[in-house]
Structure 1
Amino acid sequence: MKEVLNLNNAGLDDFPELNFLFKEISLFNNKISVISNNLWNQHELEILNISANLITEIPEDLGKLKNLKMIDFGHNNISKIPDSIGNLVNLNSYLYLHNNRLTSLPEKISELKKVTYLNISENKIEILPNTIGNLKSLVELKVEKNSLTKLPESFCGLSKLIYLNLAKNKIGSLPKCFENLSNLRFLNIDDNQLKQLPNCNPDLREISLRNNEIREIPESIERFEYLRTLDLRGNKIIELPKEILNLKYLERLDLRWNINLRIPSWSNQLLDRKCVFYY
């Protein structure tokens, strides 16, 4: 058995012959459009990278590669992920599916209870499976540039999630249980349709909600006592609550392009303590 096959940037049009067993196969940035059947015999394979090719289909045979720990299928033309992905229970690192043509994810993705990083950004996904909350090991989830209008209630089961990016969707509200994501520290919901600040756990460090339809910052903002960055550019905010001054760790407050914003006299206190304030 050989350890690694690396044919990145090799100008390949066809999937290479695999005359040995490998632990890692990387075919990044070629022109491959069809996956060869001999890939499915790589039963020792742990890392598979076929990103930035012209792949349109992932066969059900994917489920035969039960030792996989990391997959990168990003930057292809894939429209469907097979149900057999649920067989890959040893995936414990990255699952990259970004920049494809996916409109949904299979319910069986819920079997991937060890995967820690999931990137499904830049697709056409309109709804997440109800089983998404079973991905109990996820610490980072990127879903930006899709067509989501809401999140399923089960989403709140992602108890280890630290980083969440939902930017550039069509989300108007979040589940009431959203604040149960107790490990969440970095939240980006830019370019959506939110009308108010979401209920989140108070330990967040960064919140970015630019280009939504938010009209006010509630006095309860002070409960985010560890917040360092608050970005609310391009909303409809008019007034600021003085409770912002209680955010003693705040380093950056960005309220540009709120065209009717009234700047309170006490805002100089933010500057005095070296909080960068844009308006």
Structure 2
Amino acid sequence: MTSEQSRTAERPAAGVPAPSTAPAGVPAPTGAPDGAMFAPGTGPAANPAAGTGDRHRGVRSFVPRRSRVTTAQREALERHWATRGVEIDGRTPVDLDRLFDTLPPGSPIVLEIGFGMGEATALMAAADPTTGVLAADVHTPGQGHLLKLASEQGLENVRVANGDALLLLEHMLPPASLAGIRVFFPDPWPKKRHHKRRIVQPPFVALCASRLAPGGLLHCATDWEPYAEHMLEVLEASPDLGNTVPGGGFAPRPDFRPETRFERQGLEKGHRVRDLLFRRPVG
């Protein structure tokens, strides 16, 4: 769970199935229990993996906080979710070529796990319009804001996924299908008894490596020094990824990663931001 997801953690409500006009290869929205929030058949589901049993128990730890959705965010979700949204139900394979039908088949696709309000995501998508960005989060206002930015800026390479990104990686995306995975400022779970909840653990790194195409990049960033050291230790131990920094260690912030709102908050508190860039070898 990312820092943005943990901030919106609440007890989930079961989703209510609803019709959808989503294109083939894109999981259909299941609707929302609060029917007044979105028009019928539009908008992200409150719990897209509802009813799938213990296999998807992780998604039950959070639901979108919809009470703060603005009118503009809600309108963006209603207008664009059917064609730009993906429900992470943990069952339906995602056809990336069909999902990113505005890009040439075989275009590189990057998964971003936890994007907050989406400003940095939109900047990166605008700077690299030939790469598809599949941005996953559970924060409904952020989902709406990112879709609004994408629409206003004409970003045809942005899609938004709703739900647990681990389910998306494990059950819905094929091996070697991604050019990159971004995990920017995940929840550091600073208390020792909560360290097991950190997303960057050996099983997660192995899963990411399996979904990266040869040459694909896993890019993590954090402003929490103990977590940065933990990330580095875990990533350095991976047999499937190699550090892009000669001799090992942390990387300088690459030009393609803009400063995020969460990052600025950390810098204001005197935190040191660390980037880690690890690549799946070619051949």
Would you call these one fold, judging by a TM-score over 0.5? no
Q: Normalization by structure 1: what TM-score? A: 0.29
Please give the TM-score of this superposition, normalised by the length of structure 2: 0.29
Hey, which of these two has a bigger chunk of helix by percent? 2
Query: Relative CO higher for 1 or 2, CA cutoff 8 Å, sep ≥ 6?
Result: 2
Higher-Rg member (1/2): 1
